[in-house]
Structure 1
């Protein structure tokens, strides 16, 4: 490899944090042709981890580094959400999270790349595609060792949990998580509830916040939130909550009828 090409790869590696993936499409946009990328792999600067994705040779990359690259290089909205986000935020320490299963949320038609799905990250993933919340609100940024990562904030993460009720998520567990969210920002919650397209999620969120007696709930303007019409049966044979017109787990419905 000549000096010019060596200098170019050095510039690339020095400009990007360690522990991430390099997307071939992003490199091409940056002026690194597919032919040049091939030479970098042949010269052992970069190592392919699947079609369209490479890492520094010898670098240790986990799923977070891969998601960082999807977000920053691929303009993807796929992010850790639900219980995974709450765990990363330190909000679910009393729930079992040694789980080797990570919850990801993304847009309705947004797929994980084949290279991501086929690579062994040492964990399993549940990826949910949905448009019940806009992709650009309710996110926060956490810092990993050498790069930032966008994840759901606490309010959005709990709404994502409620979106999975009852098929993939237990409502009782959602209540336990809600109990720990006593310092949510009303303006952020208001924004999410107004933008949320799921009547089920909105009613359950408000019901659980009400049951947990959170002080921030009194600052929410319910008149600005579309809660739909008619009853919603979340749990078959459960307890009916007239205030929110939902049927929930019997134990959750106690003292609320």
Structure 2
């Protein structure tokens, strides 16, 4: 009996990489009943970090290990986005003077579980639900410690930055990010721009790419992208860019007509 118990817990621990969360719902689906989970906690194999979530006792788990569980043990599309994704992709190098800020995006109506929100991951979590881009578009896999994690690719990440601008994300910083994206794939960008429902994001993205003089912009078919109608004021007291019918920061509008 003890051998069978030992074998079952060993199978469980070997089934998932180190540094990740175990969802109680996933455990139940894979033959580990609530009573068995309780025994594992009592025997100190697993420890609870909140209702519905456990980790290996003594394991070091960060927010990425929690996201792994949401993505791989559940069907969540919650992922690192914006400048967090750009940083993970090596496209942005920024330092936070205080506790590290992490930007997460999820689909419309997709909430972070309470255990995720309440646990101290030693980062400041900023979570945004939005449907301005389809949740399955523009995602890529990165290697993170002992597992892979789904994050926004560079084009989607920048669009997420622009979605947050100017209230939660500095627009000039978005331009600095755009300057470094000189090797985006036109087909991927085209697809994202066509499915994006935010006129603000699309106009700003094209404007910044134009300002950065990226060659891939020449391969984008603007006629297939719905840029809406009328003028859009992104910031007050800024400079108007007639080509894209937007008002942006004065420092961004310099040398533009």
Shared fold (TM-score, shorter chain, > 0.5): yes
SS in 1 for 2:137: coil
Distance 1:146 1:251 in 2: 43
Kindly state the Cα deviation for residue 250 of structure 1 after the two structures are TM-superposed.
Answer: 1.2
8 Å CA contact retained: 1:87, 1:97: no
Residue matched to 1:149? 149
Deviation by residue 1:142-195 (Cα, 9 ceiling, x = unmatched) = 111211000011000000000001111111110011001001000110010001
Map 1:105-254 to 2 at 5 A: 105-254=105-254
Specify the alignment match of 1:37 in structure 2.
Answer: 37
Give CA deviations for 1:36-55 in whole Å, capped at 9, x if unaligned.
10011111111111110000
- Please give the alpha-carbon distance, in whole angstroms, between the structure 2 residues aligned to 1:20 and 1:153: 22
1:85 corresponds to: 85
- Residues in 1 aligned to 2:96 and 2:176: alpha-carbon distance in whole angstroms: 14
Q: Write the distance in 2 (CA, Å) between the matches of 1:204 and 1:234.
A: 9
Shift of residue 97, structure 1, vs aligned partner: 4.6
Aligned to 2:95: 96
Structure 2: 5+ residue stretches without partners: none
Unaligned residue ranges in structure 1 (runs of 5+): none
For residue 151 of structure 2, give the secondary structure of its aligned residue in structure 1. strand
Cα distance, 1:254 vs structure 2:
1.6
Partner of 1:50: 50
Cα distance in 1 between the residues matched to 2:108 and 2:58: 35
| Secondary structure class of the residue paired with 1:137 | coil
C-alpha displacement of 1:239? 0.6
Aligned length: 256
RMSD over equivalenced CA pairs, Å = 1.1
The CA distance in 2 between the partners of 1:234 and 1:145, in whole Å, is: 39
**What residue in structure 2 maps to residue 24 of structure 1?**
24
How much has 1:3 moved relative to structure 2?
Answer: 2.3
| Aligned residue number for residue 6 of structure 1 | 6
SS at match of 1:35: helix
Counterpart-to-counterpart distance in 2, 1:250 and 1:215: 25
CA distance in 1: counterparts of 2:122 and 2:170, whole angstroms: 25
Q: Which residue of 1 aligns with 2:59?
A: 59
Equivalent-residue separation in structure 2 for 1:237 and 1:155 (angstroms): 28
Contact kept in structure 2, 1:86 and 1:154, CA below 8 Å: yes
TM-score by length of 2: 0.97
Distance 1:76 1:147 in 2: 16
Give 1:213 deviation, angstroms. 0.2
